[in-house]
Amino acid sequence: MTTDPLVVFTPSGKRGTFPIGTPILTAARQLGVDLDSVCGGRGICSKCQITPSYGEFSKLGVSVEQDALSEWNAVEQRYKDKRGLIDGRRLGCQATVQGDVVIDVPPESQVHKQVVRKRAEARDIKMTPSTRLFYVEVAEPDMHEPSGDMERLIEALEQQWTITGVQTDLHILQQMQPILRKGNWKVTVAVHLGDAAHAPKIMHIWPGYYDGTVYGLAVDLGSTTIAAHLCDLKTGEVVASSGIMNPQIRFGEDLMSRVSYAMMNSGGDQEMTQAVREGMNALFTQIATEAEIDKALIVDAVFVCNPVMHHLFLGIDPFELGQAPFALATSNALSLRAAELDLNIHPAARVYLLPCIAGHVGADAAAVALSEAPDKSEDLVLVVDVGTNAEILLGNKEKVLACSSPTGPAFEGAQITNGQRAAPGAIERVEINPDTKDPRFRVIGSDLWSDEEGFDLAIATSGITGICGSGIIEAIAEMRMAGILDASGLIGSAEQVGSTRCIADGRTNSYLLWDGTAEGGPKITVTNPDIRAIQMAKAALYSGARLLMDKFGVDQVDRVVLAGAFGAHISAKHAMVLGMIPDCKLEHVTSAGNAAGTGARIALLNTDARREIENTVRRIEKIETAVEPRFQEHFVNASAIPNAVDPFPILAETVTLPSANFNAGAASSNASGSRRRRRRS
């Protein structure tokens, strides 16, 4: 009695015996091995490429002879001649089992391949895209068994791909009949596979075998910018990325001014809805042009945004979000059609919006949670997405808390005397010599420090135009470390500090960072109002985090993740000196980049992640800072630099902060401390 040959698949390790002559694709399907195929084994699509291994595999207990697979056949040869095939590769639908064999499925032949994320600590994205391509052969119409062409197409999908309950939109019905005939009853269909609430749906249909792909968009709709990644739904690859300013800016710089605009102007919300949708369409046109693809091939889109953007994008008046109790119209994730939102991609494209966590903690925060997965963390992680509003998550596998805190635009360089957006010419890094009290700095556009040779030349084009968000944080933290600034936020006078860079400026002092007036440039100073603005912003951020720590019952966190573009440029040490973030080992403070955008991309490529984040959001405990009595107390304490009450013992191990107090000195009559006292009287 001869036994059937053994087939072992790697990397899955799945194995089974199969009769001689079984195609490898068939064996893979029967074992549930993830081996792709669009044409269903007809030797057309070549998606099922595999690599047989020969020789002795003691670990697997298999010995593979040279004739373990059927000989190279005409279909494979034709494919190789036409398109090329990597040496050693075979087509899984053509090669048949002849003896024991070990078959490797390369990543590009896997449906659920992993898309590698760049950061080391990030989990890779498993591909389970919403929409896949299927090649089918459709039965021709028969007068004796009359049925619609669509019914026979759906039957083909069911019989050849076991996809059941497929539905379709009118636009497919309207174009399908000539396509079926053009393809001689062989067509490729893009099927949106649906979910618990939505049946699978035919999105597109091509005559014959369509050797292309379909695309999806991951969109991060911010108050200031709209950024989109165009992704190949087959490979997961980002084929183009692009961004534009949010055209709503003309109605107000920040969220609350936009809510006000809607309240003060009848139809104002609709104006803003139209503006953002038009901007979105301009962006999509731009990104499709860049990638040189037809916009109609974009069949899926995921959006993340804060609640106000969310409502305005959907055409919902954000009125209720402008006042307690900050009631969202809807907090659940939404599945819509692109056409409903006037988006000019595929007319039946699906649009997915992540759930909102609360009235102030939006789908963007949910996307950060999806990307950074605090709910899967063994240690206690604080995730902070810094923007004009900070979204804060604190948690581990046990539970996750969330809140938002109104940091205002100071961190983005707004409301700062010489502040500017991060752009060439902006001071982004600062060091102050504690002995001389003199600064050196770096400017966006050059890697040289200002005291290094060639700096003047390097910045000749951009000049030195101002200071950006990360620059002001470093400047203030350095001032604090160099004894120029005291814990209460007062800049010392020239006498107190012993530096002529400290200049009396009205009732307070300013610190001169750069005097460019000789070259016709600006004089860049850090003023006391700048310090106040940053104090307010960082106190808001810290007190939000502290409140969550209270609720969690901890005094310390294991690690801190800074999300957002700003978080990517911030120096952990300086942020901690400033008391922006809780005390923590510096090496445990990491940047996640645009985590909200990454979350959108995960939800786009891995539809399972959508259910996952919906469940996670449901379990997240929401803390409304506005009604928490301790928030105010934390805020007042956090106004000090780093903090009036909370010790920073880990920081103290590396940094010693001078204990200056400029309120009691010669400049006291000008200090804000005395101003405060006057106000109280």
Q: Quick check: 400 binds a copy of itself (CB under 8 A)? A: no
Q: Quick check: 199 binds a copy of itself (CB under 8 A)? A: yes
Provide the minimum distance between the beta carbon of 517 and a copy of itself in the complex, in angstroms, as a whole number.
Answer: 51
Distance of CA 675 to the CA centre of its chain: 44
- 108, 113, 119, 121: CA torsion to nearest 10: -140
Q: Which is nearer to a copy of itself, 140 or 608 (CB)?
A: 140
Quick one: tokens of 680?
């109280």
Of 190, 314, 485, 557, the one binding a copy of itself by CB under 8 A: 314
603: part of which helix (H) or strand (E)?
helix 595-605
Provide the minimum distance between the beta carbon of 156 and a copy of itself in the complex, in angstroms, as a whole number.
Answer: 14
Q: Quick check: 316 binds a copy of itself (CB under 8 A)? A: yes
Locus of tokens 């995730």: 383
Q: Quick check: 197 binds a copy of itself (CB under 8 A)? A: yes
Quick one: tokens of 527?
């003023």
The closest of 466, 437, 464, 469 to 449, measured between CA atoms, is: 464
Provide the minimum distance between the beta carbon of 343 and a copy of itself in the complex, in angstroms, as a whole number.
Answer: 13
Side chain identity, residue 180:
L
Q: Quick check: 29 binds a copy of itself (CB under 8 A)? A: no
Cis peptide leading into 658, omega within 30 of 0? no
Exposure on the CB side of residue 595, measured as CA atoms within 13 A: 33
Q: Quick check: 391 binds a copy of itself (CB under 8 A)? A: no
Of 239, 329, 503, 512, the one binding a copy of itself by CB under 8 A: 329
Find the part of the chain contacting a copy of itself (CB under 8 A) among 75-83, 545-553, 588-596, 623-631.
623-631
Q: Quick check: 587 binds a copy of itself (CB under 8 A)? A: no
CB 448 within 8 Å of CB 460: no
Q: Quick check: 622 binds a copy of itself (CB under 8 A)? A: yes
Paired with 23 in beta bridges are 96
Q: Quick check: 632 binds a copy of itself (CB under 8 A)? A: no
Find the part of the chain contacting a copy of itself (CB under 8 A) among 104-112, 328-336, 588-596, 639-647.
328-336
Cβ-Cβ contacts under 8 Å for 63 (sequence gap 6 or more): 55, 56, 57, 100
Of 16, 106, 252, 315, the one binding a copy of itself by CB under 8 A: 315
Q: Quick check: 120 binds a copy of itself (CB under 8 A)? A: no
Q: Quick check: 319 binds a copy of itself (CB under 8 A)? A: yes
Q: Quick check: 358 binds a copy of itself (CB under 8 A)? A: yes
Of 297, 328, 392, 490, the one binding a copy of itself by CB under 8 A: 328
CA–CA separation, 392 vs 372, rounded Å? 12
CB 372 within 8 Å of CB 561: yes
Q: Quick check: 375 binds a copy of itself (CB under 8 A)? A: no
Exposure on the CB side of residue 638, measured as CA atoms within 13 A: 28
Locus of tokens 């920081």: 651
Count interface residues toward a copy of itself (CB under 8 A): 49
Provide the minimum distance between the beta carbon of 153 and a copy of itself in the complex, in angstroms, as a whole number.
Answer: 9
Q: Quick check: 54 binds a copy of itself (CB under 8 A)? A: no
Q: Which is nearer to a copy of itself, 34 or 320 (CB)?
A: 320
Provide the minimum distance between the beta carbon of 171 and a copy of itself in the complex, in angstroms, as a whole number.
Answer: 9
Cis peptide leading into 11, omega within 30 of 0? yes
Of 324, 644, 652, 664, the one binding a copy of itself by CB under 8 A: 324
**Binding residues among 131-170 for a copy of itself as defined by CB under 8 A:** 140-151, 165, 167, 169-170
CB 318 within 8 Å of CB 310: no
Find the part of the chain contacting a copy of itself (CB under 8 A) among 59-67, 290-298, 353-361, 506-514.
353-361
Q: Quick check: 616 binds a copy of itself (CB under 8 A)? A: no
Q: Which is nearer to a copy of itself, 330 or 433 (CB)?
A: 330
Paired with 97 in beta bridges are 69
Cα of first residue to Cα of last residue in the chain, in angstroms, is 104
Of 34, 271, 320, 505, the one binding a copy of itself by CB under 8 A: 320
Q: Quick check: 245 binds a copy of itself (CB under 8 A)? A: no
CA–CA separation, 140 vs 295, rounded Å? 32
The closest of 159, 158, 157, 155 to 142, measured between CA atoms, is: 155
Provide the minimum distance between the beta carbon of 395 and a copy of itself in the complex, in angstroms, as a whole number.
Answer: 17
Provide the minimum distance between the beta carbon of 170 and a copy of itself in the complex, in angstroms, as a whole number.
Answer: 5
Q: Quick check: 232 binds a copy of itself (CB under 8 A)? A: no
Helices (H) and strands (E) counted in the chain, each on its own, are 19, 31
Kindly calculate the radius of gyration of the chain based on its CA atoms and give it in whole angstroms.
Answer: 30
Beta sheet of 131-137, edge-to-edge order: 131-137, 186-192, 201-207, 167-168
- At residue 127's C-alpha, the angle toward residues 123 and 128, to 5°, is 125
Provide the minimum distance between the beta carbon of 191 and a copy of itself in the complex, in angstroms, as a whole number.
Answer: 16
CB 341 within 8 Å of CB 282: no
- Contact residues toward a copy of itself (CB under 8 A) are 140-151, 165, 167, 169-170, 173-174, 176-178, 197, 199, 314-317, 319-320, 324-332, 336, 340-341, 356-359, 622, 624, 626-627
